[in-house]
Structure 1
Amino acid sequence: MQLEDLSNIRDRVKSSRKMNRKLYNWNFRQLLSFIEYKAVTEGLKVVQVSPKYTSQSCSRCGHTEKGNRPNQSTFQCKACGYQANADFNASMNIAVAG
């Protein structure tokens, strides 16, 4: 099981005041420990994956380019033409990275 490494997320994410309050009130380490606890009971290992370029890399062909993200929610690969929701594409990259 792969998860995005959420270390230092508060330093990486720049959001509105309201969103910052939500981020600062959530304990990501606690979330990870809950997931690891459940994974162990199922015989799974949890691997944390660096989120670097996961939203700019194509989950189909692997092409990485900033231009693959024309906006916040859309992913369009400049090499193979694959189109998807940007979060879905990034999650697929994280899933195969581990």
Structure 2
Amino acid sequence: MTKAELLKEFDKLQKEKEIHIEGIHCNSNKSTIKNAIECLKCPDELLEKYLMVVSLKYENIGRTIAENGDFKRHSFNRLYVFNTARQILAN
């Protein structure tokens, strides 16, 4: 898949879910765009579990994200929780 195709899919998913993820642009590398697409495809129930994983490891960060509103719709927190939890679980 080309970078242009990945960006089209990313934009389509953002519009479908009505979520904007910051930091993903045409100058992002392919792996970053693929990761953001995976994050958008991730079900909200799984993201809730990911927040629990982050909260257990990093209590203050988890609390701050939970108090900041719906992190699943936040332009930065959704991707942060997704990536951090997967990193924790990989170890």
TM-score (norm 1): 0.29
> As a proportion of its length, which structure holds more strand?
1
TM-score, structure 2 length as denominator? 0.31
Q: In proportion to residue count, which structure has more helix?
A: 2
Work out which of the two has the higher radius of gyration on C-alpha atoms and give 1 or 2: 1
